[in-house]
């Protein structure tokens, strides 16, 4: 027997056991695919949020330190915050383009 036939047999046995253990839940491959898609979308949303926060926080801290070191008022803080927003937007655009190219390359 080949590996793929063994895996298919194992998958059928697991499905039968799941139906037996949880008769009120209809667990299908479509449901599992939908769950995986939702998890990927949630992961993407978290990644975008982290990119925004990291770029803005890092640039704000850098601007604050430069202001403190040079004795200026918040001019560098403001400049670096604006740059941080720009960097965050560029990073998000890169992420979105990468995801779009992966979706376009993926056969349906």
**pLDDT (tens digit per residue) in 4-40:** 788 788 888 887 887 777 766 666 667 777 778 888 8
The label of the residue with tokens 């046995």 reads 13
Q: Where is 27: in which H helix or E strand?
A: none
Residue 36 structural domain = 3-105
Whether the full predicted model's pTM is greater than 0.75, yes or no, is no
Number of domains composing the chain: 1
pLDDT at res. 30: 72
Residues near 80 by beta carbon (within 8 Å), at least 6 away in sequence:
59, 60, 62, 63, 66
DSSP of 63-75: HHHHHHHHT--TH
């Amino acid at each position: 027997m080949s590996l793929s036939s063994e895996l298919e047999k194992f998958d059928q046995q697991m499905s039968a056991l799941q139906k037996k253990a949880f008769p009120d839940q209809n667990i299908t491959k479509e449901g599992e695919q939908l769950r995986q898609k939702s998890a990927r979308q949630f992961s993407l949303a978290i990644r975008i949020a982290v990119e925004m926060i990291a770029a803005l926080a890092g640039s704000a801290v850098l601007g604050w330190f430069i202001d403190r070191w040079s004795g200026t008022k918040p001019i560098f803080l403001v400049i670096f915050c604006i740059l941080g927003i720009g960097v965050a937007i560029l990073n998000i655009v890169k992420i979105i383009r990468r995801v779009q190219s992966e979706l376009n390359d993926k056969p349906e």
